[in-house]
Structure 1
């Protein structure tokens, strides 16, 4: 169970990194060469779903593992765990945020756009919290390959976020400015 929990956590983190990157690309409103914007949206949704499945597998297998000593309360309420409560609590916070994002994504058409966006923006908090959880609580966090993986993921997300913010701030054509103004009023 421990090995499945470890691997599913690492796979989940990798998929959530890809999902965050695809989400940033989706909001940028620019298609990739050879892939229209709706294609990016579909890939983003599918990768997010797959990441959530691996996250559930991660939590479920660690619930059944005697070493992790997780209880159902530990999965929902952060910082109460018996094994490294701070680092485990960060995982709980990240898990709870993912649950909120999944629920609002499923109810997207029934929620005000601002509510959906606000909850969806919590991914910008969830992702670094999940990375910190994996560094502090992960068995592989002392391995060079994991350090390289975590540093590469952090660099990619930081670069994409910076690009996204810069591309919004420095729109120059009237058409781009009008599109930006329209998006912010939704």
Structure 2
């Protein structure tokens, strides 16, 4: 049973990273206000939210199974307070930082209407910190962190987020409000 927990913990972490990568890329696309292939803008927003939800589910499975696994030696305090872990405390701590940032983004997303768009947007920018911290955690702490398949996944994820990020910073990126204003004129 211990090996099954360990394997599921590793797999759910890799799936969570892949889904968070897709969520970040879709989030940038949502901000641009452009459609995605045949999906209209509103559908891209829904896909972004659902992918983020699945990423969080797999993150919960990742943390939950590793808390049950005696090999991982993960304690409740390690899940909340960074850098206290018994095994690879720095790399594990990066995972805790990513989890804490994800919790902040989720909390503000759930309270979006009460907090207002400015606070929501400001906290949502933490995903640009969350994602690379999670990637570093996966490479540094993961059992598969140096395996060829995982390094290919990590490189593909970095290329996707990096490419989307460069597009986000480029002059060709128009945010949805500016895009709609230009379409109306």
Matched, 1:39 2:43: yes
Q: How big is each residue's C-alpha offset from its partner over 1:91-114, in whole Å with a ceiling of 9 and x where there is no partner? A: 000001111111111111111211
Does residue 92 of structure 2 align to residue 93 of structure 1?
no
- 1:142-176 C-alpha deviation (Å, 9 max, x unpaired): 2111111101110110000111121466x6xxx64
Superposition TM-score, scaled by structure 2 size: 0.90
Q: 1:51 aligns with which of 46, 51, 55?
A: 55
Q: How many residues align?
A: 175
Instruction: Please list every run of at least 4 consecutive aligned residues from structure 1 whose deviation after the TM superposition is greater than 6 angstroms.
Output: none
SS at match of 1:48: helix
What is the CA–CA distance in structure 2 between the aligned matches of 1:9 and 1:33, rounded to whole Å?
A: 29
1:143 aligns with 2:147: yes
Q: How many angstroms apart in 1 are the aligned matches of 2:142 and 2:99?
A: 15
- Kept after mapping to 2: 8 A contact 1:28/1:167: no
Query: How many angstroms apart in 2 are the aligned matches of 1:13 and 1:176?
Result: 31
Q: Which moved more, 1:160-169 or 1:110-119?
A: 160-169
Which runs of 5 or more structure 1 residues have no equivalent in the other structure?
180-186
Q: Give 5+ residue unaligned stretches, structure 2.
A: none
Superposition pairs for residues 15-164 of structure 1, below 5 Å?
15-164=19-168
Alpha carbons of 1:116 and 1:81: their partners in 2 closer, same or farther (altered >3 Å)?
same
